Structure 1
């Protein structure tokens, strides 16, 4: 199996990121009944202008296998983060590339980036009822449920807050 490289997305990556993000959310059943969220997921250029879009690339083939958007509080895509916190959103792995550690590599890259920027914690939200494997991934990475960060962006959509403290220094 070839290795993975996580790097900042380039504009040439945006079509692949848009395709795989929408495909991953559809495959996980997260776009049923949504009102325009697929278009938000596909708008990679706006996400990249508001935060950092990272991609996981197969080192052998160059194929984009997954992506995530890293943001800081106060930015257009920040939902949960407050002072001293970073967050990541829209973590997606191409359904054809799942099971290779892509999601974990992207999440770890965000944790590293937050630490580089001096953040004290990383916060994320996950949809209630999301795949058990995603919840297990975040638990393995040290995220803990933070009910005070729970919220609902639309009727019938419940998001659960998770937080991970980052090592000082």
Structure 2
């Protein structure tokens, strides 16, 4: 196991390899579009699919079980062009995706824990995330982990869709 890998039960979280970027992009689209979280014709779909660009500006992490990639997340350190809501002394994570067959196995939690570990190791003050109203299972997980809503930081897309902001002080 490399130093960037962390094992949580049956789940291993590590940095995505360049040969996995297309897989991560397709997995993310499968989860967001296939799960009804984003419309297939949304302008966000190309961004979800472009894991290669994410990897150039974030730390793109994957979760695997028994060698199969079953989840991914983009850890956005301060200054990352993908950090939309984090303050200068905070990190953010984006585009957390877990394939349906791996839900309930601790994959999402392991990915978030890996982001928390990176933010703490960097001496940051907090970790933030943006989520949608239609992700209640994720909201429960974040709250169980200690994240709290910061409704004063919520914002809306041009389409009018409201996005919710969560924060974990470190």
Q: How does the TM-score come out when normalised to structure 2?
A: 0.90
Say which of 42, 46, 55 aligns to 2:62: 55
Instruction: Give 1:156's aligned residue.
Output: 160
What whole-Å deviation, never above 9, does each CA across 1:4-34 have from its counterpart, x for those lacking one? 1100000111122111111110233121275
In structure 2, distance between residues paired with 1:162 and 1:128? 12
What whole-Å deviation, never above 9, does each CA across 1:66-100 have from its counterpart, x for those lacking one? 00001123321110011211000000001222121
1:104 pairs with 2:109: yes
Give the 3-state SS of the residue equivalent to 2:114 in structure 1. Answer: helix
Q: CA RMSD in A?
A: 1.4
State the aligned residue count.
Answer: 162
1:76 pairs with 2:84: no
| Structure 1, gaps ≥5 residues long | none
Instruction: Give 2:143's aligned residue.
Output: 139
The 8 Å contact of residues 123 and 163 in structure 1, kept in 2 or not, is answered as yes
Give the 3-state SS of the residue equivalent to 1:6 in structure 2. Answer: strand
Q: How does the TM-score come out when normalised to structure 1?
A: 0.90
Q: Structure 1 stretch 93-102 or stretch 26-35: which is displaced more?
A: 26-35
User: Structure 1's 104 and 128: CA in aligned 2 closer, same or farther, altered over 3 A?
Assistant: same
